[in-house]
Amino acid sequence: MRLAAAILALLCYALTACGSAEQAKEGSAPSTSVHATTTEPSSSVAPTPFGVSSPAFADNGQIPAEYTCNGRNVPPPLRWQNVPAGAQSLALVLDDPDAVGGLYVHWVVTGIPPSASEIADDAQPAGAVVSANSGGKAAYLGPCPPAGSGVHHYRFQLYALSKPLALTPTTPAREATQEITGSAIGSAVVVGLFGG
């Protein structure tokens, strides 16, 4: 009995092996092999760059009147992210490259801590210094283009600086902007439109 069972098992094995070999030759048997693959995580995702924006208007969008000479004439809220490593201070310059008499600086703020991430509506960070604008006043001067001069592009430029600057409220706009750009290790800009 044991011999018969052993012969039967051997016969079944032989037939199965022959059948599998024949099916493999003809390609009629479905493959049951599983190939495992792994995908390495991609390290090519670019980091978000240094950027500035305003919740009051979109980049290249219309600046609301409340932030201009037709309204409250106060600074709009600004937010930024990803300040470059090594920044010792931040500075903000608002200018109008479309001004009738050439570039007009509306606002210069230095001494903004690199840990700050925003300026609230009608505010400035503690310890920051406002230098003179092109009108000679240490203040925010909102967009106010002359009638008939078309739409002006107001650039809110945020600079990451390699060192703190010793600017004062009497530092002229041209001198202040030269010192800022000369110490910049990064910059970001949001543009607002006003005029018509």
Question: pLDDT tens across 46-78, in order?
Answer: 677 999 999 999 999 999 999 999 999 999 999
Chain centroid, CA 86 distance in Å: 17
Q: What is the pLDDT of residue 137?
A: 97
Of 168, 186, 158, 189, nearest in space to 84 by CA: 186
Instruction: Give the chain's residues under pLDDT 50.
Output: 1-42
Determine, yes or no, domain membership for 160: yes
Q: What is the pLDDT of residue 75?
A: 97
Q: What is the pLDDT of residue 18?
A: 44
Q: What is the pLDDT of residue 126?
A: 82
Q: What is the pLDDT of residue 124?
A: 83
Q: What is the pLDDT of residue 27?
A: 44
CATH of the domain at 65: 3.90.280.10
Determine, yes or no, domain membership for 31: no
C-alpha torsion angle, residues 105, 106, 108, 112 (rounded to 10): -140
Determine, yes or no, domain membership for 118: yes
Determine, yes or no, domain membership for 180: yes
Q: Please give the single-letter amino acid code of residue 1.
A: M
Structure tokens at 87: 């920044």
Determine, yes or no, domain membership for 45: no
- What residue numbers bound the domain in which 128 lies? 51-195
Determine, yes or no, domain membership for 131: yes
Which pTM does this prediction carry?
0.76
Determine, yes or no, domain membership for 183: yes
Determine, yes or no, domain membership for 25: no
Helices (H) and strands (E) in the chain, counts: 2, 9
Of 79, 160, 157, 84, nearest in space to 118 by CA: 79
How many independent structural domains does the chain possess?
1
